[in-house]
A and B are shown apart, each in its own frame.
Chain A
């Protein structure tokens, strides 16, 4: 095992760097720029049972050190993902990929997850119970421990691959939700999804986003994410994937010290498309600076 490698539910990753769902499409835009096989893996765009257009535009707003999005899970639907996106991805990415799954009912989640579970390219299923931008689903599963338990155990019963529950920060006790997912059979948890926010255009006095509210991400949320990763790591015994505002090798190390076994990077890919390979390249140097031999030594080291 190399200095950067980490293990995620029995699968070894060359490094902990994972582009987050919704900010990396199905990888092709980035494959035009660099060899995306340098990544640990990546989480592809949130996939649902049926194709979705998503929300009307504007879907994007800016904020100090971050952005709000209200994309609303635009995706071609699980059948098209399997028929078109995965074969195309196979040409450019040769590692197991993380499949990000969303839904509006327990049955939806089970349906989509069990289809993706059968795809050999899929290494992990990341179940998004935390999307703040859709109504009647998504986040409503991730803000109540009972609902989270119900959806995760139903999916658990239907799939073989490692199951990751992606958690919402829009709760008072994220550790309780994480525990409920662990009890339901999740192999790992990933956090945080975006924080519910809103901006108003002073000229028109109207919300900037057509959806009125959107999810905040980027460096603005980093300290919130570190705190939640820390709390969740102490509450569960399954691996934690940390994300939220990570933009540098230092941030990756901080997340891992808080308890993350791997780290997802979202919004940063949108403003600096080379951010992931840059972080991977810089990690050894930054580790040297802080006297870290292997990344796996520092997971949850902060007490």
Chain B
């Protein structure tokens, strides 16, 4: 874990509620796909955990949905503003065990970590198939960014206004491994459907984000695990989602 004061270099509104924030000052850090950062926001006591959407050179990209006071404050940041951030948090995805043809599956506000993962896999010569799930066309974002990384990007919308009508489970294909992040119903559906090695990125309310408070503990097959420190990425075989 590291604490840094980063500088806002760009804020861009992607949809009605999704924002992209670019922060500078991460040169020399070792940030892995699937890790998250914990952001101090104006007027709020606790930090806000947000996945790494991209980390390249000196620039960290976060993409987030405005849902409450913290994310609202983040959306109001402007160029030059300081941002107090804890970085290198969490375990990140295991990139070794996905095989030749992995599937990356993101739903709604769970899409951002898939972008950094897709880029890192590509650097290793692996081109994943990406499946992005949204509710409706006006909520779609980052489709072009993903298309620039992968030749195989599938979009699903619940109402059929963009791409395939239905859910990410309607767009699944043969694969050697899968990575997923998104709302719980989506993750549980994937847990039931997929038979390949899978890694799921979980969310939990956090006190610290770095393993000190036991605020985020879940039960797994290998015992009690802190989502912030032992996760947020868990293997399918460790999760107790049978019910």
Interface residues of A (CB under 8 A from B): 22-25, 29-30, 32-33, 45, 53-54, 57-67, 69, 71, 74, 218-219, 267, 269-274
List of A residues within 8 angstroms of B65 by Cβ: none
Q: State whether B1 touches A32 (Cβ < 8 A).
A: yes
B: number of interface residues (CB 8 Å): 25
Q: Is the CB of A24 within 8 A of B212?
A: yes
Q: A71-B215, A267-B45, A273-B212 are in contact. List 17 more A-B contacts (CB 8 A).
A: A25-B212, A29-B211, A53-B217, A57-B205, A59-B205, A60-B46, A60-B205, A60-B213, A63-B45, A67-B207, A69-B213, A74-B214, A270-B207, A270-B212, A271-B47, A271-B208, A274-B3
Alpha-carbon distance between A192 and B210 when the two chains are bound, in angstroms: 25
Pick the residue among A22, A25, A53, A267 that contacts B211 (CB under 8 A).
Answer: A25
17 A-B pairs with CB atoms under 8 Å apart are A25-B212, A25-B213, A25-B214, A33-B1, A57-B204, A58-B204, A58-B205, A59-B205, A60-B215, A60-B216, A65-B45, A69-B213, A74-B217, A270-B208, A271-B46, A271-B47, A273-B210
Q: How far is the CB of B231 from chain A (nearest CB, A)?
A: 12
A69-B40 CB under 8 A given contacts A57-B205, A270-B208: no
CB-contacts of B172-226 with A (<8 A): 204-208, 210-219, 224
Chain B residues touching A, majority SS = loop
Q: Is A62 within 8 A of B45, CB to CB?
A: yes
What's the Cα separation between A29 and B217 when bound, in Å?
A: 16
List 4 tightest A-B contacts by C-beta distance, closest first.
Answer: A270-B208, A60-B215, A58-B205, A74-B214
Contact B1 A23 (CB under 8 A): no
* Residue pair B218, A57 in contact (C-beta under 8 Å): yes
Known: A33-B1, A60-B207, A67-B207. Contact between A23 and B212, CB under 8 A?
Answer: yes
Q: Which residues of the other chain, A, contact B207 by a CB distance below 8 angstroms? A: 59-60, 67, 69, 267, 270
Q: Is B62 part of the contact surface with A, judged by Cβ < 8 Å? A: no
One digit per residue, 1 when the CB lies within 8 angstroms of any chain A CB and 0 when it does not, for chain B 31-45 equals 000000000100011
